[in-house]
Structure 1
């Protein structure tokens, strides 16, 4: 029997309306997490749930709330998560989890002190193709070469939004951190280093719309390119040159996060979008274990790239 726990959602923007809400309120929700309330200063989900103008009002008004899922703009995550943990609630953080690594480490310390569960969620990890890639790389020597290409139409995913361009919004790292999360997931424990980085920042913005970074590790190097642009198809590709246990080189390509090619042949193709089902099932499992699941390497790489970056101010708006 699955233990029932009441959960509240903070932030009712696009990602909540298309992903968090539909799973939690839908028939596929087998986690025991029961969505009872939302908090957002502008809008609710329009589903008859109790709604509050901010997270503090929700925490005060829902004494039985066991957990809080935070899907508001990134710059708000730290304050909301801190308040929720101090109020005795477990916390799930949408990506990027915080604006800095120090904030994430502070939240981890608060969760430990409060005896609460904190989970950093990276939805792109929850795909069959990603898991099959992780299994294929397990036990091998570090890959020789990695190339990441992550390009999105900004207006397709963030129409009318300005927060990604402000300090703390992280710019194109908002989607790009998905690629970093996959990399850290399929090659756990491999210490990546940022050797150089180049940023392009649009007029009036404080964060980059384009990032080109060189990664190195023992035995190999790689390149990651993240781009927000206007128009065009989304590109979410990670290619890895790896050597199997027989000494044979394999070209592995994760295409669009749901297709895995090995030497050009499809091993996993397509499949349903089950990313947020995976997010909430992983959160449920962490709650059952009473154990936090916090990944910090992604934020470290973002900070290392920012520190190393050569910044170019462009004249072209996105």
Structure 2
């Protein structure tokens, strides 16, 4: 029997507690051996360190790390992990810029460790069935609506409004990670309107028009100010009917008829991510897809920045 991979989690915020720790505990591939954070305390009596240098200097044996810090500070932490020979899981978005993620990929290749740029929404239950259904369809129009309440999903997370924090593109990149997975052809930014609160550096809402390689129009509506029901939908009109992915990729309907998916053990996005991370480690390869991050970068490059009212949490 293959021994579990000894894993440390770095950055013990909301996503680590809500998603990473339960997924690690539920699976058999990883053993949590330590946690690292500027704030917080030990988990289940495991060794706790204030920074990754303290972990590296300790006698804790580590094979891999999951980095759950904000993207702005992740590059140097990831470099330390890779230099120590630790396989590295990057929470999404994988970095604050394209250049630093490319540099991390190159460093991982040089050091012979696995680097995983994770896109958790791709592991929602209905994403692969949607991809399969669309593979041979004539796609005529795509509409992406991703509207949620930032006060509910990112309470007190001030980093998200700072340069490199992505603003509404933090959830928006989830939609793009699904779209780049399920649509058979690449697509490109044509226009973008970014609404930036006057007291923030990142947008609170955005409207982007893309064009597919074959001319397919793709529109995207992002908003962090949604109250009441939340919207995480991708609607694809084809020659064979209309496909809709709802609830962030977990519900698939075709012409209004829900398509039931077979239940799997350990189903869910983060268990799927950790199965993938274990698989690439065992195979000695990396998985670093930059296409969602490139599209966000292009939206900022081509976008018109509109100043809107202050955001007060």
TM-score bracket for the superposition, by shorter chain length = over 0.9
Asked if 1:258 is matched to 2:250, the reply is: yes
C-alpha change, 1:178 and 1:250, in structure 2 (3 Å) is same
Asked if 1:307 is matched to 2:301, the reply is: yes
Q: Which residue of 2 aligns with 1:150?
A: 146
C-alpha change, 1:230 and 1:224, in structure 2 (3 Å) is closer
Asked if 1:159 is matched to 2:151, the reply is: no
C-alpha change, 1:83 and 1:101, in structure 2 (3 Å) is same
Q: Which residue of 2 aligns with 1:246?
A: none
Q: Would the aligned equivalents of 2:125 and 2:268 in 1 still touch at CA under 8 Å? A: no
Q: Secondary structure at the match of 1:268?
A: coil
Q: Would the aligned equivalents of 1:151 and 1:226 in 2 still touch at CA under 8 Å? A: yes
C-alpha change, 1:62 and 1:314, in structure 2 (3 Å) is farther
Q: Which residue of 1 aligns with 2:2?
A: 2
State how far apart, in whole Å, the 2-side matches of 1:270 and 1:289 are. 27
Asked if 1:204 is matched to 2:199, the reply is: yes
C-alpha change, 1:223 and 1:22, in structure 2 (3 Å) is same
State how far apart, in whole Å, the 2-side matches of 1:100 and 1:8 are. 24
Shift of 1:140: 3.6
List gaps (5 residues or longer) in structure 1. Answer: 244-248
Q: Would the aligned equivalents of 2:125 and 2:261 in 1 still touch at CA under 8 Å? A: no
State how far apart, in whole Å, the 2-side matches of 1:264 and 1:140 are. 17
Q: Which residue of 1 aligns with 2:175?
A: 179
Shift of 1:230: 5.7
State how far apart, in whole Å, the 2-side matches of 1:268 and 1:79 are. 43
C-alpha change, 1:45 and 1:22, in structure 2 (3 Å) is farther
Cα deviation 1:27-67 (Å, max 9, x = unaligned): x2122x11110110111354211110012211222552110
Q: Which residue of 1 aligns with 2:39?
A: 42
Q: Would the aligned equivalents of 1:155 and 1:230 in 2 still touch at CA under 8 Å? A: no
Q: Secondary structure at the match of 1:139?
A: coil
C-alpha change, 1:139 and 1:160, in structure 2 (3 Å) is same
Q: Would the aligned equivalents of 1:194 and 1:304 in 2 still touch at CA under 8 Å? A: yes
Shift of 1:124: 1.1
Q: Which residue of 1 aligns with 2:128?
A: 131
Q: TM-score, with normalisation over the residues of structure 2?
A: 0.94
List gaps (5 residues or longer) in structure 2. Answer: none
State how far apart, in whole Å, the 2-side matches of 1:179 and 1:158 are. 17
State how far apart, in whole Å, the 2-side matches of 1:209 and 1:122 are. 21
Q: Secondary structure at the match of 1:96?
A: coil
Q: Would the aligned equivalents of 2:194 and 2:303 in 1 still touch at CA under 8 Å? A: yes
Shift of 1:269: 7.1
**Which residue of 72, 78, 82 corresponds with 2:79?**
82
Q: Which residue of 1 aligns with 2:18?
A: 18
Q: Which residue of 1 aligns with 2:286?
A: 292
Q: Would the aligned equivalents of 1:259 and 1:270 in 2 still touch at CA under 8 Å? A: no
Shift of 1:288: 1.2
**Which residue of 186, 192, 195 corresponds with 2:190?**
195
Runs of 4+ residues over 4 Å off in structure 1: 269-273
State how far apart, in whole Å, the 1-side matches of 2:53 and 2:136 are. 46
Q: TM-score, with normalisation over the residues of structure 1?
A: 0.92
State how far apart, in whole Å, the 2-side matches of 1:55 and 1:135 are. 41
Matches within 5 A, 1:231-250: 231-243=227-239, 249-250=240-241
Q: Would the aligned equivalents of 2:35 and 2:43 in 1 still touch at CA under 8 Å? A: no
